[in-house]
């Protein structure tokens, strides 16, 4: 085997902190760029361990082919007995918000009422929720193609005027909208090997792109390198350590990570007006935020490398 570890990636800026941590340890790894690649299913595998860092949002950067490629390659690897962290099952869960809803329904975890559709009139006829409602893609990422709509007429007008919103998979969702306390935002928990790495509060100021990577949402504001088209909020997205994470939130996050076979993941929830914790997003490609980890006394990317070394030796 040529390498101990192969890391699948598409976004080079997101990966720089991980590359630095891997180089510091002297690990024998290969960075596998998914943007222009090929594989022979008869010749797999070539490494002890594979780690998937692909993102569903690749298409917003013009890299639509990366997602089906890595999904196919991981399935081939797994069929040949390779160990793949955040493999095809975990990645499929991240790619499909319907699967996330179904998983949480099976676990008895509160989540927004949702409706998948491929025709807006069918959606309007079937929607049993209230308005305003969110429309979002089945395959999302970085808050791309999300809209808050006030009526069925707005949904019809939106998809009439912007038919490109159906891309890349021609499946959209209507989802229940929960207003949140603007000063508290939402909570994102990061898990590593099924255990909590850290939790943080994210105050959006109206933005949908809550990507934790400093490349997307720099500390102190400023233009993000990979920012997806979004309504500019009045203030930059803010991230705060959240050591007071409720035990109930932690327990539900652990159950989602285990059931979804997620090795490294970010799980988000909001606090509804009635006090319920509403879980609404599962991210297998976990963009860690170094300042948050440091607030808890560690470098999160060093912890990821610790985990990878443990997996290589197991």
* pLDDT (0 to 100) of residue 241: 98
pLDDT class of 229 with cuts at 50, 70, 90 = low
Smallest CA-to-CA distance from 259 within 99, 113, 116 is with 99
Is 269 found in the same domain as 169?
A: no
Lowest mean pLDDT among 56-60, 82-86, 149-153: 56-60
Q: What is the CATH number of the domain that holds 156?
A: 3.30.1490.20
Weakest-pLDDT range from 119-128, 223-232, 284-293: 223-232
Residues in the chain: 314
Assign residue 278 the CATH number of its domain. Answer: 3.30.470.20
Residue 223: per-residue pLDDT: 64
Distance separating alpha carbons of residues 237 and 144, to the nearest angstrom:
15
Please, which pLDDT band fits residue 89 given cuts at 50, 70 and 90?
A: very high
Q: What is the mean pLDDT of residues 158-169?
A: 92
- The DSSP element (H or E) to which 107 belongs, if any, is helix 97-107
Tens digits of residue pLDDT in 296-305: 999 999 999 9
Ramachandran angles phi, psi of 102, nearest 5°: -65, -40
Q: Are residues 102 and 238 in the same domain?
A: yes
Same domain, 211 and 305: yes
- Assess whether pLDDT exceeds 60 at residue 228: no
Closest CA to 265 of 281, 247, 244, 248: 281
**Beta strands 195-203 and 238-241: pairing type?**
antiparallel
Whether the predicted pLDDT of 142 surpasses 70: no
Same domain, 73 and 151: no
| Whole-number pLDDT of residue 146 | 87
In this model, does residue 224 exceed pLDDT 70?
no
Same domain, residue pair 196 and 264? yes
187 and 251, same domain (yes or no): yes
Measured CA to CA, the distance from residue 313 to residue 243 in angstroms comes to: 31
Average pLDDT over all residues of the chain: 92
Same domain, 64 and 9: yes
228 with 103, same domain?
yes
Least confident range of 78-87, 174-183, 239-248: 174-183
pLDDT at 222: 62
Neighbouring-strand partners of residue 268? 188, 281
Which pLDDT value is given to residue 100? 96
Whether residue 64 contacts residue 232, with contact meaning beta carbons closer than 8 Å, is answered with no
Residues 208 and 293 in one domain: yes
Average pLDDT of the segment spanning 275-297: 94
Domain count, the chain: 3
**pTM summary value:** 0.92
Q: Is 260 helix (H, G, I), strand (E, B) or coil?
A: coil
Q: How, if at all, do strands 47-52 and 277-283 pair?
A: unpaired
List the single range of 101-110, 126-135, 139-148, 274-283 with lowest mean pLDDT.
Answer: 139-148
Say if CB 84 and CB 118 are below 8 A apart: no
The CATH number that applies at residue 65 is: 3.40.50.20
Percent of the chain with pLDDT over 90: 76
Sole residue written with tokens 């007429």: 153
Please tell me the distance from the alpha carbon of residue 58 to that of residue 169, in angstroms, as a whole number.
13
Tell which residue, 7, 27, 53, has the closest CA to residue 306: 27
Domain identity same for 134 and 273: no
2-28 residue pLDDT tens? 899 999 999 988 999 999 999 999 999
Same structural domain, 171 and 210: no
The contacts of residue 120 (CB under 8 Å, 6+ apart) are 155, 156, 159
Q: Mark whether 236 and 224 lie in a shared domain.
A: yes
Q: Tokens 């308005």 sit at which residue?
A: 131
Contact 15, 213 (CB under 8 A): no
Who has greater pLDDT, 182 or 3? Answer: 3
Q: Which residues constitute the domain of residue 47?
A: 3-87
Q: Per-residue confidence at 36, pLDDT binned at 50, 70, 90?
A: very high
């Amino acid at each position: 085997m040529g390498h101990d570890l192969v890391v699948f990636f598409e976004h080079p800026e997101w990966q720089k902190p991980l590359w630095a941590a891997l180089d510091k340890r002297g690990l024998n790894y290969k960075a596998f760029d998914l943007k222009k690649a090929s594989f022979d299913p008869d010749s797999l595998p070539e490494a002890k361990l594979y780690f998937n860092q692909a993102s569903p949002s690749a298409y917003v950067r013009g890299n639509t082919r990366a997602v089906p490629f890595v999904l196919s390659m991981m399935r081939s690897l797994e069929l040949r007995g390779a160990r793949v962290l955040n493999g095809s099952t975990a990645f499929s869960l991240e790619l499909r918000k319907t699967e996330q809803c179904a998983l949480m329904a099976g676990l008895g975890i509160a989540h927004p009422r949702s409706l998948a559709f491929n025709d807006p009139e069918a959606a309007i006829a079937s929607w049993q929720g209230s308005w305003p409602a969110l429309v979002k893609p089945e395959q999302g990422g970085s808050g791309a193609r999300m809209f808050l709509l006030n009526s069925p007429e707005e949904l019809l007008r939106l998809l009439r005027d912007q038919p490109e919103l159906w891309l890349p998979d021609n499946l959209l969702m209507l989802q229940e909208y929960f207003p949140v306390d603007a000063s508290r935002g939402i909570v994102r928990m990061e898990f590593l090997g099924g255990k909590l790495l850290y939790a943080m509060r994210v105050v959006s100021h109206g933005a949908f792109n809550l990507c934790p990577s400093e490349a997307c949402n720099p500390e102190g504001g400023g233009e993000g390198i990979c920012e997806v088209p979004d309504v500019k909020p009045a203030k930059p997205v803010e991230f705060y350590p959240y050591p007071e994470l409720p035990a109930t939130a932690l327990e539900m996050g652990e159950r989602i990570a285990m059931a979804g076979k997620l090795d490294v993941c970010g799980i988000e929830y909001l606090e509804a007006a009635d006090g319920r914790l509403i879980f609404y997003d599962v991210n297998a490609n976990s963009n860690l935020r170094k300042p948050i980890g440091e607030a808890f006394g560690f470098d999160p990317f060093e912890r990821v490398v610790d985990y990878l070394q443990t997996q290589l030796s197991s």
